[in-house]
Amino acid sequence: MPRYKLVVEYDGTPYVGWQFQAVGRSVQQAIEEAILKFTGEEIRIQAAGRTDAGVHATHQVVHVDLARDWRPDTVRDAINAHLKPEPVAILAATEVGPDFNARMSAVKRHYLYRIVNRRPHAALERDRVWQIPQRLDAEAMHEAAQALVGKHDFTTFRASECQAASPVKTVDRLDVERIGDEIRLFASARSFLHHQVRSITGSLVQVGGGKWSAADLRAALEAKDRSRCGPMAPASGLYLIGVDYPAK
């Protein structure tokens, strides 16, 4: 039974999230239904990360086992044909070995958070950014963010319903930069806690707006107390932009 690695792009706005839910349509459901129409097989797919409702992806990774040995470009094109008009697309399909697992084999995940920082609303990218009219200091946000890089107990930035076994995570990258009216936050780690990136982003906005200092952010981290977290950033600005796997 051949296994395929799929790279997936989607607009998360109309979905309840990646994962199949009893109520509401998910990205996973949309892809599985397209695979059923293509192959006649009812199959469960597994993804590198379970994005929340409203969160987008430019590079989600999925694996799927099919009964027939299809050409990878046929798998890509046939699934896409049945995904129309869903805001979901298979960007690439590759045949991989049976030991490849989209979730368990991943060694690093990369996220981008986008903030449009201007008074006029984001008319063309509504539901794809967080629009903040007050001027933010991106340099101060970046400097403060470096206190969160490395291995820490991220209880403060962890959702109450998070199911991770431990709040301890190692953040490899947390960069903030301004490009014109847009502020971009890049976060990379092997794995993240539920709502961790959105919680960190919301707290960094407190720094950028002058309500918190860098010392306040560090103190919030060290408190290991969810009540010390800043307001959580909305899902609309968050993107899964990459997943790394071993070089082999």
Catalytic residues, which ones? 52
* Size of the chain, expressed as the number of residues it contains: 248
Cβ contacts of 122 within 8 Å, gap of 6 or more: 116, 128, 129, 131
Sign of CA dihedral 158, 162, 167, 170: negative
What is the amino acid identity at position 103?
R
**Structural tokens at position 52:** 């929340």
Question: Do the bridges between strand 56-65 and strand 238-244 make them parallel or antiparallel, or are there none, so unpaired?
Answer: parallel
Distance from C-alpha of 142 to C-alpha of 137, rounded to nearest angstrom? 9
